[in-house]
Structure 1
Amino acid sequence: MATTAPTTCRSSPTAASRIRGAVPPGLIPGVEDAVVLLPYNHSDESEQILDRHADEIAAVIVEPILGGTGMIPATPEFLARLREVTRRHGMLLVLDEVVSFPMDVHGAQGHFGIEPDLTTLGKAIGGGLPLAAYGGRADIMALVDPVLDPMTQMRHATTLGGIPATLAAGLAQVRALTPEVHDHLNRLGERLRQGVRDIGRRHHAPLQVTGFAHVFGIHWTPTPVVDLETVLTSDKAVTNLLTTSLYNQGILMFKSALGTVTSPMTDDDVAMFLDALERSVVDSGLVG
């Protein structure tokens, strides 16, 4: 299995250098040896790693938008290359759409035109209640279907699956995500991101924003943010200062400077956020 998550890479010194200092403590012994890291948004290097470990890797797991890492969208070329290489080597391509699912009627895979072998889902499909799901190719899903094979050893069990209230909330959520709602969310998200870019230009500040559709991440670095390595160049002390200032102005967002727009929001809400962010940048004393 390969992954683009921030963990240790045993195969590529170049890729490993991108995550130095970012691996959390507490990994179970053996995890490092079972996972190969692929450098996000670096198509050529990822293909070389997959070619080199073609006989060892069962699946490649990738987020179309790196959520907790900084709301970084994959490039269409990167996703397309992963699909081509995994198909060539007989590896599964698993798209983690927990964050990206609400970006389009058919999620990020529909938007980018990528057909994965498996998809994992969560958050949005629960309508605010705990729910997760996965799905994919019929031949793979058949392996865990006790109706097809009552003796299957590859069973799937869940604690939170099938709760009527959660499923009702999830169904209502999915029905509410109409094409019009998606268009509304995507338009507001892009207006917010463009507004953040304009603030950075006006004040000659190393203020950057990443994201796609309804999600965004704010970074304080002159380095273009495209992967984990470049995320780590952001000054967290500054982004913590900015989010604290936003709290004091009545705007609550993740301390990691990540956020989303939601369907009840309007252009006025985006304008309020941008005004508050600009005041935070100016009042911080970090710009002239």
Structure 2
Amino acid sequence: MTSTAPLAVALESARQGFIAANPQSERQYRQATEVMPGGNTRSVLFYEPFPLAIARGEGCRLWDVDGHEYADFIAEFSAGIYGHSNPSIRAAIDKALDDGINLSGHNLLEARLAQALCERFPSIESVRFTNSGTEANLMMLAAAKAFTGRQKVIVFIGGYHGGVLTFARGPSSVNVPHEFLYAEYNDLDSVRRLFDEHRGEVAAVLVEPMQGASGCIVAEASFLAGLRELTSAHDTLLLFDEVMTSRLAPAAYQSVLGIAPDMTSVGKYIGGGMSFGAFGGRKDIMSLFDPRIRNALQHAGTFNNNVLTMAAGYAGLTSVYTPQAAVELNARGERLRATLNTRFEEASLDIRFNGIGSLMNLQITARTIRSVRDIDASRNDIKDLFFFHLIEHGVYIARRGYVVLSLPVGSAELERFDGAVASFIDRYRNLLPRETL
């Protein structure tokens, strides 16, 4: 075990160094607290003693209000795959601006983005747009309940499907009041028990192929295949939340698994940096929303087909994040994660990065993590120390240790990240947890 007192001293020293180096960010934060609760309007961005105020970005570089430059390894929590102001995305937005922003009707852009999505992700036969992944999952659940005529939904501890569908440790007071049944991630028996206890009552199983917000916890292929078998046997819909994971392969991560869910939600990067979400799947399910049909499900949203998102999304998906680009980006992520984990292993440290491809998360254990219950939150002080160290060395990640690669990240940035991790190990080796035989 680490020595608590020396670690606490090191963390406080890092914290004080952060405060001293960022007076303008602190001033900006204090001003924000006067008009927003905690100076915040997006919970995930807050960290103590105060969050950095980012002034501008270019490519995969960020500058804060104090003038510090960072290599961006968070990429808008996976939405910023194109970097900052990608020329193709910007040109598409400029063209959309020239033709008018709010067109008050069907426009020329929405159907072509829909076609691109359906061609890219084969299980999505028909699609509808929303303004966020949260909205996409809400509408996907509504469709599942309407289609099956059932009310209960199986979700997983540690899952995150949006701001009102969060299950880090179970129910949340902000969640929408669906009839949720809670299963254990990577535990097929826990799902079987719920089906047995609620026979004929389950509308859908909602699952992430990798639980991103809980720390890039990867689902076992046999677990997801088992969910496909169980849902089919019980006439229940299998819903894949690929808002984060669709970037992990040219045709979403489900293509790697060889599993076709009944419905899929996507979002984040597909909007080209604009607000975006989408849900789709089998045509017989999606036809519930066909306004030509009597008593069709209603799905409103003033900005569902806004021209900026439609233009940016189409340009990004078809000309920038091509299938080949997806393969190359995720291969870079695999190499980086392997390099970093080798460093920890050679130093005999009980630390590893979890994840797939271009998404990864630092975990303070070398053991396989199968669920959020395998993560020891009492060791988050080490993640804090890691975060402050990387900030000091010009690398910007999420406080929880979440790391995301964007397309502009190249060899110079990867070497910078690797060097920062190497110096973290050298600097704090005696304070970090050691592997036990």
Whether these two folds match at TM > 0.5 is yes
Q: Which one of 98, 101, 104 corresponds to residue 249 of structure 2?
A: 104
Q: Which one of 187, 202, 213 corresponds to residue 57 of structure 1?
A: 202
Q: Is the 8 A contact 1:83 1:93 kept in 2?
A: yes
Q: Say which structure, 1 or 2, has more relative contact order (CA 8 Å, 6+ apart).
A: 2
**Match for residue 171 of structure 1?**
314
Is 2:242 the counterpart of 1:242?
Answer: no
Secondary structure of the residue aligned to 1:235 is helix
2:309 is matched by which residue type in structure 1? T
Q: Classify 1:172/1:210 alpha carbon distance in 2 versus 1 (closer, same or farther; 3 Å).
A: same
Q: Is the 8 A contact 1:101 1:124 kept in 2?
A: no
Is 2:306 the counterpart of 1:139?
Answer: no
> 1:97-120 CA distances to partner (integer Å, 9 max, x unpaired)?
100011112101111111111111
Is 2:169 the counterpart of 1:22?
Answer: yes
- Cα distance in structure 1, aligned partners of 2:174 and 2:158: 12
- Structure 1 runs of 4+ aligned residues shifted over 4 Å read 27-31
**Match for residue 160 of structure 1?**
303
Is 2:150 the counterpart of 1:3?
Answer: no
- Higher Rg of the two aligned structures: 2
- Cα distance in structure 1, aligned partners of 2:154 and 2:246: 22
Q: By how many angstroms is 1:268 displaced?
A: 3.4
- Cα distance in structure 2, aligned partners of 1:46 and 1:115: 19
Secondary structure of the residue aligned to 1:61 is strand
Q: Is the 8 A contact 2:205 2:238 kept in 1?
A: yes
**Match for residue 182 of structure 2?**
37
Q: By how many angstroms is 1:145 displaced?
A: 1.1
Q: Is the 8 A contact 1:221 1:233 kept in 2?
A: no
Q: By how many angstroms is 1:5 displaced?
A: 4.4
TM-score, normalised by the number of residues in structure 1: 0.88
> 1:213-257 CA distances to partner (integer Å, 9 max, x unpaired)?
210010112442221111245711101110111011110011111
Secondary structure of the residue aligned to 1:69 is coil
- Map 1:64-213; keep pairs closer than 5 Å: 64-147=209-292, 149=293, 151-175=294-318, 176-213=320-357
The two structures, once aligned, show a CA RMSD in angstroms of: 2.1
Percent of aligned pairs with the same amino acid:
29
- Cα distance in structure 1, aligned partners of 2:431 and 2:171: 30
**Contiguous gaps of at least 5 residues in structure 1:** 8-18
**Match for residue 42 of structure 2?**
none
TM-score, normalised by the number of residues in structure 2: 0.59
- Map 1:204-243; keep pairs closer than 5 Å: 204-232=348-376, 235-243=379-387
User: Which region of structure 1 is more displaced relative to structure 2, 189-198 or 91-100?
Assistant: 189-198
Q: By how many angstroms is 1:265 displaced?
A: 1.6
Q: Is the 8 A contact 1:185 1:214 kept in 2?
A: yes
- Cα distance in structure 1, aligned partners of 2:410 and 2:263: 35
Is 2:424 the counterpart of 1:272?
Answer: no
Secondary structure of the residue aligned to 1:188 is helix
> 1:113-146 CA distances to partner (integer Å, 9 max, x unpaired)?
1111111111011011101110011111001110
Q: Is the 8 A contact 2:231 2:238 kept in 1?
A: yes
2:222 is matched by which residue type in structure 1? E
Q: Classify 1:30/1:130 alpha carbon distance in 2 versus 1 (closer, same or farther; 3 Å).
A: closer
Is 2:251 the counterpart of 1:251?
Answer: no
Q: Classify 1:82/1:140 alpha carbon distance in 2 versus 1 (closer, same or farther; 3 Å).
A: same
- Cα distance in structure 2, aligned partners of 1:170 and 1:224: 36
- Cα distance in structure 1, aligned partners of 2:255 and 2:218: 14
Q: By how many angstroms is 1:55 displaced?
A: 1.9
> 1:11-30 CA distances to partner (integer Å, 9 max, x unpaired)?
xxxxxxxx8x9347524695
Secondary structure of the residue aligned to 2:222 is helix
**Match for residue 12 of structure 1?**
none
- Cα distance in structure 2, aligned partners of 1:160 and 1:153: 20
- Cα distance in structure 2, aligned partners of 1:222 and 1:174: 36
- Cα distance in structure 2, aligned partners of 1:129 and 1:234: 36
Q: Is the 8 A contact 2:158 2:371 kept in 1?
A: no
Q: Is the 8 A contact 1:6 1:37 kept in 2?
A: no
